[in-house]
Chain A
Amino acid sequence: MAPDVGVLDVVLWGVLPYLMAVILVGGLIWRYRYDQFGWTTRSSQLYESRLLRIASPLFHFGILAVLAGHLFGLVIPMSWTEAVGMSQEFYHFNALFVGGVAGIGTLGGIILLIIRRRTTGPVFMATTKNDKMMYVVLVAAIIFGLWTTLASVFLGGHGHNYRETVSPWFRSLYILQPDIGSMAAAPFSFHLHTLVGMALFVIWPFTRLVHAFTAPLHYIFRPYIVYRSRDRQQGSTPVRRGWSEVGLADRERDRR
């Protein structure tokens, strides 16, 4: 372990990520157990749809692209990309261009969403304190993330290569041997973005963001109409002995 790793670094990059993971997973389990009916986007489309139609896809597709960028940058080791002949310059150009576009799209989308939320009376009425706090963290994460992207290019000449610091640390977390030194070596902007990002994951289970985990992706891969056969037990009332089930014959589907 590098000598310049302090206690703070250990806490921030060695302990905090695991704490975050526990809260995220535990929180999701808790939410699923106890608040399934609150597991919702709390859609405000009924109150306002014109702005939402533009802003929501802009933000959501933007953030999906951002997610893809993060995965590309954090998960795939630099050596792998070099092995397939991707130059550092090419990588950086891509990160800057694609990441920038995605980031700005995401930022633009969320700004529009916030404006809509604030100026449309009924939507604002339906906005909770929880939502407001979530927006602060989410926007902060996006802005700081965008800043790291831009700063890595325009500041300090050639910029910082996070694929040599943050990414190894990120990957090391999964094998439970956190490479704290690498992360500690990253510049402040990356530290800030990472911390805010972890904050976002901490609040995730307790906010509307949970809907990300239940996006109904399978809908687009199945027919519109789904018939499900009845369960033996209907409702929470236990089935009592002594009565044959009603309507058994009906349940045999008549195959044409």
Chain B
Amino acid sequence: MTQDTRAAGPDGPASDALLKLGRFFTRWDETDDGRAVFREGGRKGDSFYRDRWSHDKVVRSTHGVNCTGSCSWKIYVKDGIITWESQQTDYPSVGPDSPEYEPRGCPRGAAFSWYTYSPTRVRYPYVRGVLLDLYREAKQRLGDPVLAFAEVAADPGKRKTYQQARGKGGLVRTSWAEAIEIAAAAHVNTIKTYGPDRCAGFSPIPAMSMVSHAVGNRFMQLIGGVMTSFYDWYADLPVASPQVFGDQTDVPESGDWWDSTYLMMWGSNVPVTRTPDAHWMTEVRYKGTKVVSVSPDYADNTKFADEWLPAQAGTDAALAMGMGHVLLKEFFVDRSVPFFHDYVRQYTDLPFLVALTEHPDGGGLVPGKFLTAADLDAAESSTDASGPAWQGAAGNSPFAGKHAAPEAGAGGDAAGGRADADFKTVLWDAATGAPAVPNGSLGFRYNAADEGKWNLDLGDIDPALSLYGLPGSTTAEIRLPLFDDPAGAGTTIHRGVPVRQVAGRPVTTVFDLMLAQYGVGRDGLPGHWAAGYDDAATAYTPAWQEEITSVPAEACARIAREFAANAEESGGRSMIIMGAGICQWFHGDATYRAILSLLLLTGSMGRNGGGWAHYVGQEKCRPITGWISLANALDWSRPPRTMIGTGYWYMHTDQWRQDGYSADALKSPLSEGSLDGLHTADALAKSAALGWMPFYPQFSANPMDVADAAEAAVDAGTAEDPASYVATELKEGRLQQAIEDVDAPANWPRTLVLWRSNLFGSSAKGNEYFLRNLLGTHNNVMGTDNDGVEQRPVDVTWHEDAPEGKLDLLVSADFRMTSTTLLSDVVFPAATWYEKHDLSSTDMHPFVHAFTPAIDPPWQAKTDFEMFELLARELSRQATGHLGVRKDLVSHPMQHDTPGQLAQPGGHAEDWRGTGIPGVPGRNMPHFTVVERDYTAIADKLLSVGPLADSKGFTVKNVTYRVRGEVERLGRMHGVMSHGPAAGRPAIDTDARLAEAILSFSGTTNGALAVQGFHELEKRVGKKLADLAEGSEEKRITFAMTQAGPQPVITSPEWSGSETGGRRYAPFTVNIERLKPFHTLTGRMHFYLDHDWMRDVGEQLPNYRPPLDMHRLFGEPKLGTTGELEITVRYLTPHSKWSIHSEYQDNLLMLSLSRGGPTVWMSPGDAAAIKVADNDWVEAVNTNGVLVARAIVSHRMPDGVAYVYHAQERTIDVPKSEATGRRGGIHNSVTRLLVKPTHLIGGYGQLSYAFNYFGPTGNQRDMVSTIRRRSQEVTY
């Protein structure tokens, strides 16, 4: 052939000729083929690149931004300047046959170092100018900081002057000493004048920088202040998790997605919000795993999915119910799958018996309470008993029953019958044909008699899943609530269940109730049932859900079938990644329960590769015991004051005054009255009164004065103890709960310290109410208090004029100017994440790793640790003469994972207020505990480990870790304090030392504690557990190790899964594999919740609740166009590709890469309807406020929905609005708080308070807003 007869030349004859010419003039050394030339030297040009990549040091740090990435980064420093950062790649290997965790990091993280030297950096302490003038003048006159601040804050004119200046600039530079002095004086004045529970602090997400969080939290708790929660406040808490699992949240690491064989993403935009982990989701597809996405928009994750179910925003529960219908029909009724059948009988409440009760309206039976051993005992002991204890005659104590009191729990069986029998649930034993009380329910958890029986071992019991077809079973018709009307009103459906008489009452199983709820019929049962999947008229069929969600019935049924079939064949490796898109709705808990049911029924929970994978913020603080104990200063004084954030801000920002609906609007048509006429503010007051949820301030009086009075009464012999004194005073009305007159000046929060937090730029739902009522500055609240609504609270006092400007002083610490610092009175310059020692962990990977300072904090910035040390020292100094040593009476609710779970048997909502029922602290009232506070020793205590660590240990989830040895070791390592109130105590006086202490006191990072904790838990459970950590006794993760590289944690009873043997973490595997009960009433995962309020709101079973009808509740326009050029749409605030999780929005690099400035995403259809073109300025307006932004018109958006990405800062391009003439606000200006009463339940099983664990969510997704095109001329 003719080709390639010439010698191998680079390209052809022409280039050969050129090369030849070159060769003729220059001598060079080349390869044989002439393609490469060799030259000597001439590399001076390299020096630029070599110098560019030569650094004085490279330091390991990370970003504390509530991003689940928790990526470790290399920070490069040259000539004392941070140049940039790049990804660390030294994560321990996952092992063979799997992708790896490295590299982790995304463009947002890589852009962070911009902030170090950015124009937005806070470089010096600032104080509001007018306040500083007033303070200096007063101090010069009075000579004392506390007196000076007291005068300025008390003078109405002066107060208004500086409060109205908030948010308007006018911050002036001052010295650290003066700024600290003012902040300390405000605290001393508040504690002295009103009480320490008027001092508040807010700093979210400990996992994103545990030391910074802990030191401030510790300061607040040492002075008796209030720390408000964040997980529930962010609506990141899936309330369904405590409801179903009895656990706050425990989820698989992203590496476990790789174990999944069927993966759904439901309301979680994985590539955008879990960027460094998204690769697992894309890679697992190559193993054949099917990936299904449920999202209303064509989200980024939907691009990766094999199938997309575009459910309308907020209707996800309907889809899940439709899927559940198919699952129950095909896998439980038409055919029994042994794998599912065995699983649900052992690990869920499905076989447990529920009593059916006659509804007061006479309309027949409805599901009531779980049958308990107490019911069996009562029926046995006296056949003529009129009923269980709680149904005793009016006026009797609800606690007159014979069950053991929680306090008596340790004493064993108090009155003959079984201990804690009210909390021992009952199932039907098919083996014996009789009711049986299996191990593992809550009644086995706390008393001495049942030690070793708190486990899921069924022994010889053969639980009957259903009573259907059992000899002796009959049938009964029951009624259930249904909420498929978009307006939210409920209707009643009639279904039938098999029943039998047990303990003198008709009972059925939860499984039978589930089939009734889902409309899956069986022959011979009365009531109305689904005729088939295409029966759109009957609730919860696939056709029914299609009308609501617009997902085809066929797709719903098919995906359900695939999902369950996969679980059956793979042993439960069907996984659902779920997140904020479905969680942050008012009825997000109902949606979650509907979806979780799919996992529970298919045996997928507690499996590697299966179960729920709920991801929101950086919620998992792996060394939890050390962090929470030191943060709450439990080594010095107990209990701490922790507060539900949502309840706090809802009340103190007076959003309740503009809340026009009551619980009536939510309740079930079958409600029996426990929620009737209950305004949300009243619900909060009731919850506080009953000891369900905390509320601070506690009383209208200063709690230190209450403590003094209580002790005086005890000394005088008129009261048995301080708690009973307070109970009597409350009952007699001589002492008032502060919440009942929350607007009285004595009950206002007076100081608020924000650090690691951008409350007013990020999380403050109802931002304009915060501005108006809390801060007293100008705002864009569009509605008026209780506009056109008669509904007002009964128990909470109504003032004609709402107070404006409750806070005496707003203090914030940040390294950048944010919406929050602009509103603050004192701004401290904080160190960035590249300038301090700290710790980071996440739920997405199993490692703990360090922050390390790359440079010292520049300008006058200081670490949070240093700031709180200075504040504590100054406060201690000022306290001499003003405070000294005082007693403080702390009110605190019944807690989860304590005997407080047993406080209110049966879950009733009877109130001691206005009834004959006595108030008993710890039973139907909060606990009241006296704490001594030496205000002159705050700094000494802050910086050392206190004696309670040795004597009491640290308890998490009812497992106590004995840390005496660790305390001694810390003392030897760090030295002990030489003198003063903390003499002899180990020093934790630097951020690195506090980090070391956190790691030392936690089982996940200290193998000895993990083993000790497991041994303690083994005693209660009676099953082998310690082997999960054995071999790790001498393994200790030190702070230095976390600086050297990410450290995989040790399996510990602090969490529910296992990493033992290099296994990927999946939650609840210990429960499933080791038969350790869930922390619930039955000890199993719950489908059924029987608390009075759950029943009366119609959510005792999984169901569908539509988004709130804001037209009906708040008079907002109906969805759609009005005829004028404006349109009312759902106003959603998801997380952005260009801002937090994991970057703030004001970063120049990110602003440049994205559209920049505030934006609203709209569908082309909606935009056309109001004649808006892409990039036009629009305004979003509703009762709550106004937002001005540019429209992004995108085909990715569905009609009827607008996205306003979260945390678009008011510092970036926010013009004045046409609606008010004032600056158009932030994303949260258009939102407000809505509190779901069922989140306020407490004192009953898993429905018990714990900080960030169970509490009302600050949900914001049910909002609607009117959007219109505005003048394109904007002014600033």
Contact = CB atoms under 8 A, between A and B. Distances in A.
**Are A and B a genuine interacting pair, yes or no?**
yes
A223 B35 contact: yes
Interface stretch (B40-48, B664-672, B740-748, B1264-1272): B40-48
Interface in A199-226: 218, 220-226
A218 B38 CA distance: 15
A222 B15 CA distance: 9
A221 B19 contact: yes
A89 interface: no
A235 B22 contact: no
A228 B28 CA distance: 12
Contacts of A227: 36-39
Nearest to A255: B29
Contact of B35 (A221, A224, A230, A234): A224
A231 interface: yes
A220 B18 contact: yes
B44 A223 contact: no
Contact of A229 (B30, B36, B41): B41
A234 B40 CA distance: 14
B51 A235 contact: yes
Nearest to B21: A221
Contacts of B42: 228
Contact of B30 (A223, A235, A236, A237): A223
A228 B36 contact: no
Contact of A218 (B22, B30, B39): B22
Interface residues of B, number: 28
B54 interface: yes
A207 to B, nearest CB: 23
B37 A222 contact: yes
B44 A226 contact: no
A129 interface: no
Contacts of A220: 18, 22
B364 to A, nearest CB: 72
B783 interface: no
Contacts of B38: 226-229, 253
A17 B331 CA distance: 96
B37 A223 contact: yes
A143 to B, nearest CB: 36
Contacts of A218: 22
Contacts of A236: 47, 50-51
B92 to A, nearest CB: 30
A222 B41 contact: no
A234 to B, nearest CB: 6
A231 B47 CA distance: 10
Interface string A108-140: 000000000000000000000000000000000
Contacts of A234: 43, 46-47, 50
B612 to A, nearest CB: 45
A53 interface: no
A33 interface: no
Contacts of A237: 54
Nearest to A234: B50
B50 A235 contact: yes
Contacts of A235: 46-47, 50-51, 54
A135 B683 CA distance: 74
A256 interface: yes
Interface string B1161-1173: 0000000000000
A238 to B, nearest CB: 12
Nearest to B40: A229
Contacts of B21: 221
A253 B40 CA distance: 11
B981 interface: no
A234 B54 CA distance: 11
Listed residue (A37, A218, A227, A253) with the most chain B CB atoms within 10 angstroms of its CB = A227
Nearest to A226: B37
A15 to B, nearest CB: 39
B1034 interface: no
Contacts of A231: 41, 43-44, 46
A224 B54 CA distance: 29
Given A222-B22, A235-B50, A228 B35 contact: no
B800 interface: no
B865 to A, nearest CB: 36
Contact of B39 (A37, A224, A228, A256): A228
B34 interface: yes
B233 to A, nearest CB: 43
Nearest to B50: A235
B19 A222 contact: yes
B23 to A, nearest CB: 8
Contacts of A221: 18-19, 21-22, 25-26
B43 A230 contact: yes
Interface string A228-255: 1111001111000000000000000100
B32 interface: yes
Interface string A74-92: 0000000000000000000
A224 B43 contact: no
B18 to A, nearest CB: 5
A220 B41 CA distance: 21
Interface string B40-67: 1111101110110010000000000000
A223 B50 CA distance: 25
A220 B22 CA distance: 8
Nearest to B22: A221
Given A235-B51, A237-B54, A225 B39 contact: no
A225 B18 contact: no
A229 B39 contact: yes
B10 interface: yes
Nearest to B44: A231
A168 B542 CA distance: 96
Given A218-B22, A230-B43, A231-B41, A225 B50 contact: no
Nearest to A233: B47
Contacts of A228: 38-43
B54 to A, nearest CB: 6
Nearest to B30: A223
A226 B46 contact: no
A143 B34 CA distance: 46
Interface string B256-282: 000000000000000000000000000
Contacts of B25: 221
Given A218-B22, A236-B51, A237-B54, A223 B43 contact: no
B21 to A, nearest CB: 6
A214 to B, nearest CB: 12
Nearest to A232: B41
B19 A223 contact: yes
Given A231-B43, A231-B44, A234-B46, A225 B37 contact: yes
A37 to B, nearest CB: 8
Contacts of B46: 231, 234-235
A226 B22 CA distance: 14
A217 to B, nearest CB: 10
B18 A223 contact: no
A226 B36 contact: yes
A231 B42 CA distance: 7
A240 to B, nearest CB: 14
A197 to B, nearest CB: 32
Nearest to B48: A37
Interface of B: 10, 18-19, 21-22, 25-26, 28, 30-32, 34-44, 46-48, 50-51, 54
Interface of A: 37, 218, 220-231, 234-237, 253, 256
Give 4 closest A-B pairs by Cβ, nearest first.
A221-B22, A235-B50, A225-B36, A223-B37
27 contacts: A220-B22, A221-B19, A221-B26, A222-B19, A222-B22, A222-B26, A223-B30, A223-B35, A223-B36, A223-B37, A224-B35, A224-B36, A225-B35, A226-B38, A226-B39, A227-B36, A227-B38, A228-B38, A228-B40, A228-B42, A229-B38, A229-B39, A234-B43, A235-B50, A236-B50, A253-B38, A256-B32
Given A221-B26, A223-B35, A235-B47, 5 more contacts: A223-B37, A224-B10, A228-B38, A228-B40, A228-B43
